[in-house]
Amino acid sequence: MNCFDKALYCLLSSVFLLAQPVHAQHHQQADSKQVWEPDLGNGRYRNPIIHADYSDPDVIRVGKHYYMTASSFNSAPGLPLLQSEDMIHWRIVGHASPHLIPAENFRTPQHGKGVWAPSLRFHDGKFWIFYPDPDFGIYVMTAKEFTGPWSTPHLLVAGKGLIDPTPLWDDDGKAWLLHAWAKSRAGFNNQLTLRAMDPDASKLLDDKGTLVVDGDQLPGYKTLEGPKLYKRNAWYYIFAPAGGVEFGWQSVFRAKNILGPYEEKIVLAQGDSKTNGPHQGAWVTAEDGRDWFYHFQDKRAYGRIVHLQPMQWQDDWPVMGKRHPTTGIGEPVDTWEKPVLESPLINLANPPSSDDFSSPTLGLQWQWNANWNSDWYSLTANKNHLRLYPQALAASTSASSSLIDYPAILLQKLPAPAFEASVKLKLNSNINGDRAGLVLYGLHYAWIGLERHQDHYSLQYRTCSSANLNQRCQEKLVQTKIAEQAEIHLKIALNSAGVAQFYYSEQGEQFTVFGTEFNATPGRWVGAKIGLFHIGTRDVASSTVVSNKNKEQAKSTNRFADFADFRVSPRTNY
C-alpha cells in the first residue's frame, strides 16, 4: 500500500466508524415475517442457515459468542462481520474494511476482483483477518473488538494468484501461513503452499515456501483450494475442497509434521443429498464441546449460501453430516438438532433486509458497487428517506449505457428463495435522461424506475442481457409509459426458480405488472443482488473524493431521487 492509499484508508476508516450507530441494527425496519428462518421451532434447524450470499465463510468461537466473516469481492464496505449466540441466527455487526485498497483501483466496479476468501482467527487477545486480493497479494488486519476498529490492511506478501490464506500459531511459538493458488493469475492451481510466518504476521520468513499438498498427484482432483489449517491431538489438519464450487467435495488432509507428508480423505460430498458441491468453510467447536462444520453451497443466482453440518471424530478423522451407508462419505443434512437449544431471544436475529431509512447511517446490509463517497447520498436531507444524488457513468454518459460500470448502486444480497422487495421512489430532476429505480442486479440485470424527459417523467422497464454471461450485456428499453407523477411505488417479486416479475403502483396499494419476466443471474463469483440507483446523464460533478465544502454544494442540488420504506417480505400471489 502506498503512502496515499494508507493515509486515505485511515481517514475513510475513521469517517466510516464514526458514522456507525452504537447499536448497528436499531434503525433497520423489522420484517413482519421473516423471509428465511432456519429455526424449525421443534428443537431442530434447517439448511441453509443463511439463504444469502456469504461466500467462503470462516467462523470461530470466542467464549459464548460465534463470529463470521466472508468474501466481499468488489463490494464496499467489505469483509462483513456477523455474530451469533446460537450458531444458526446471525446478525451483521459491521464491516472490517470500509473501502477497498488500492483505493484508486476500486473507484469503479471491478467485478470478481477485490476481497476473496478470508480467514478469521482469535489469537494473542485480538481478532485477525487474513484475506487475499488475487491481483495484489495477501493482507492481514487486526482488531481488539470484533466490531472494530480494524487496523489498516498490511500487505503480508505481494504477488498475483495467492489466494485463500489460513494461519496457524503452533504450540512451539512458530507461526505458519498456508494458501492456495488462482490459475487465472498464477498460471496454475490445485496446489497448497505452506509458508513460515513471523508470529506477529508482519512478514513471511521464507522465499517460496513448501508445496505440502499437490492435487495434481491425487487421482480425480482438480481446483484444490480454500484451505483451513488446524491442529488437534498432535495432528495437523488441512480442510480443503476440490472439484469446483458447483460439483466438488470437501477433503481433509492430516500429518504428524506440519510439512507433511499428508494423508487424504474425502469427508463430505453431495452423494444422494440435494446439496451440490459442499464447499469450503470452517470447523467450530461449540461451547458444549460438540463439533460443527460451516460450508457454502453454490446456488447460482442466489450466490453461495451457508450450511451447517454436525461433525464428529472417528480414528482422528472428521465425520461430517450424515455418513452414506455404502461409500462411508458424509453427506449434507437438510435438518438437524440445534447446536444451542437455549439462547436469549433478544440475540436471535437473521441478516436484515428491510430498511425504513430512519437512521442517519445506512443499514449494514447495504454495500456499494465500488469504493463509495459520502456525497453520493444523504439520510438526513429528507427524514425517513434515502436520498441518492446522481453520479456520472464511469464508461459513458449516454442514456443507453448500462449499469455494469456504475459504482453508485446501493445493493444487498438476495435474502431467500422467494420474496418481494418494494420501495417508494420520488425523482426530482430537470435534466433529460436522469433516471432512478429498483434493480435486480447481476452480470445480466433488469430494473424498473423513472426517467426524466423534457416535459414529463416516464415509467420504464429495462433489461440488460446477452447470449451468455461471458459477453457484456446490452441494455434495452422493454416497456415505457408516461408517469402521471414523479412519485411511484416499485416492486420486484422473485419466485423460488429465480424468476422475477416487476410491478408498479401509483398509491402503493394495488400493483400492476410492468415488463416481462426476468431470470435472475449471478455476478462474477457472487449472486444476484437487489438495489437502488440514481444515474445522471450529464452535468454531474466528478465522483472522486472532494472537499467538505464541495460535498455540501453537491448535496444542495435539486437533482435527487428519494427512496422510502424499502420493504422485503415473503412473496404473495396477486
Sheet holding 228-232, edge to edge: 228-232, 235-242, 249-255, 263-268, 330-331, 322-323
**Those residues with Cβ within 8 angstroms of residue 315's Cβ, 6 or more apart along the chain or in another chain:** none
Count of CB atoms within 10 A of residue 81's CB? 26
Between CA 230 and CA 237 the distance in angstroms is 5
Between CA 125 and CA 24 the distance in angstroms is 24
Q: Any catalytic annotation for residue 214?
A: no
Between CA 458 and CA 460 the distance in angstroms is 6
Adjacent-strand bridge partners of 229: 238
H or E element that contains 554: helix 548-555
Amino acid at 89: H
Amino acid at 121: R
Of the listed 58, 133, 225, 291, which one is catalytic? 225
Adjacent-strand bridge partners of 95: 80
User: Is the distance from CB of 97 to CB of 118 less than 8 angstroms?
Assistant: no
Phi-psi region of 497 (alpha: psi -120 to 50; beta: other; left: phi over 0): alpha
Between CA 464 and CA 403 the distance in angstroms is 9
Between CA 128 and CA 498 the distance in angstroms is 36
pTM for this predicted structure: 0.92
Cell representation of residue 417: 428463495
H or E element that contains 82: strand 78-84
Identify the CA nearest to 462 among candidates 506, 401, 521, 421. 401
User: Is the distance from CB of 295 to CB of 309 less than 8 angstroms?
Assistant: yes
Is the four-CA dihedral 182, 186, 188, 190 of positive or negative sign? negative
Q: What does each of the 574 residues of the chain score in pLDDT, given as a tens digit?
A: 554 445 445 444 444 444 443 333 434 444 446 899 999 999 999 999 999 999 999 999 999 999 999 999 999 999 999 999 999 999 999 999 999 999 999 999 999 999 999 999 999 999 999 999 999 999 999 999 999 999 999 999 999 999 999 999 999 999 999 999 999 999 999 999 999 999 999 999 999 999 999 999 999 999 999 999 999 999 999 999 999 999 999 999 999 999 999 999 999 999 999 999 999 999 999 999 999 999 999 999 999 999 999 999 999 999 999 999 999 999 999 999 999 877 665 567 889 999 999 999 999 999 999 999 999 999 999 999 999 999 987 544 444 468 999 999 999 999 999 999 999 999 999 999 999 999 999 999 999 999 999 999 999 999 999 988 888 999 999 999 999 899 999 999 999 999 999 999 999 999 999 999 999 999 999 999 999 999 987 555 433 333 344 444 445 468 999 999 999 999 876 4
Amino acid at 140: V
Amino acid at 339: P
Give strand ranges (E) for 182-271: 191-197, 210-214, 228-232, 235-242, 249-255, 263-268
Cell representation of residue 164: 485463500
Question: If 0-12 CB within 10 Å is exposed, 13-18 middle and 19+ buried, where does residue 358 land?
Answer: middle
H or E element that contains 460: strand 457-465
Q: Any catalytic annotation for residue 171?
A: no
Residue 374, SS3? helix
Between CA 80 and CA 365 the distance in angstroms is 9
Cell representation of residue 37: 428462518
User: Is the distance from CB of 321 to CB of 312 less than 8 angstroms?
Assistant: no
Between CA 440 and CA 351 the distance in angstroms is 19
Between CA 322 and CA 522 the distance in angstroms is 30
Q: How far, CA to CA in Å, does 569 sit from each of 318, 352, 417, 419, 500?
A: 39, 11, 12, 6, 14
Of the listed 53, 56, 135, 434, which one is catalytic? 56
Adjacent-strand bridge partners of 295: 281, 307
User: Is the distance from CB of 538 to CB of 432 less than 8 angstroms?
Assistant: no
